């Protein structure tokens, strides 16, 4: 499972011209699910996500987590995070989980994030053509991957 985390002042996701998820200060997260992912990957990433200190303290140092600043969370599914681009010019997405596996893990991720943050988590619509608008704060962008945690 792979996350691209962006610290934002605001973020919004629209589907067919209608806003389906929106937040103010917090984290915008693109979530890619690998075909071999499980609840274990969800649990590890949720703990990292809610504890990662990427919000500034009074001295401008990144010492606060999303919990500390009571920030909001917007999660959007993103199968293209598992694009394989080594051969040719058309990416292959065979490593990404199929919807029948990915949807339950996506929903589990959101539910566990809500439980950890004790608040509603905004989300996109799985598999939909989504338009994303965000105001990246910093910019601060972090990648986490449960398959290769030592790299990130």
Which residues are catalytic, by number?
Answer: 78-80
The secondary element (H helix, E strand) that includes residue 144 is: strand 130-145
**Tokens matching residue 127:** 């598999």
Tokens standing for residue 43? 């649990």
Could you give the C-alpha distances from 120 to 36, 94, 115, 123, 140, in angstroms and in order?
Answer: 28, 32, 9, 10, 23
């Amino acid at each position: 499972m792979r996350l691209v985390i962006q610290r934002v002042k605001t973020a919004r996701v629209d589907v067919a011209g209608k806003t389906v998820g929106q937040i103010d200060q917090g984290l915008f997260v693109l979530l890619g699910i690998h075909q071999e992912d499980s609840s274990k990957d969800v649990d590890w990433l949720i703990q990292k996500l809610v504890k990662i200190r990427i919000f500034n303290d009074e001295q401008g140092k990144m010492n606060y987590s999303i919990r500390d600043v009571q920030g909001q969370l917007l999660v959007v599914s993103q199968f293209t995070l598992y694009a394989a681009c080594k051969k040719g010019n058309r990416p292959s997405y065979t490593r990404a989980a199929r919807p029948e596996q990915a949807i339950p893990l996506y929903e589990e991720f959101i539910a566990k994030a809500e439980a950890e943050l004790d608040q509603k988590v905004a989300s996109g619509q799985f598999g939909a053509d989504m338009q994303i608008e965000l105001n990246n704060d910093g910019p601060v962008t972090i990648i986490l991957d449960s398959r290769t945690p030592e790299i990130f």
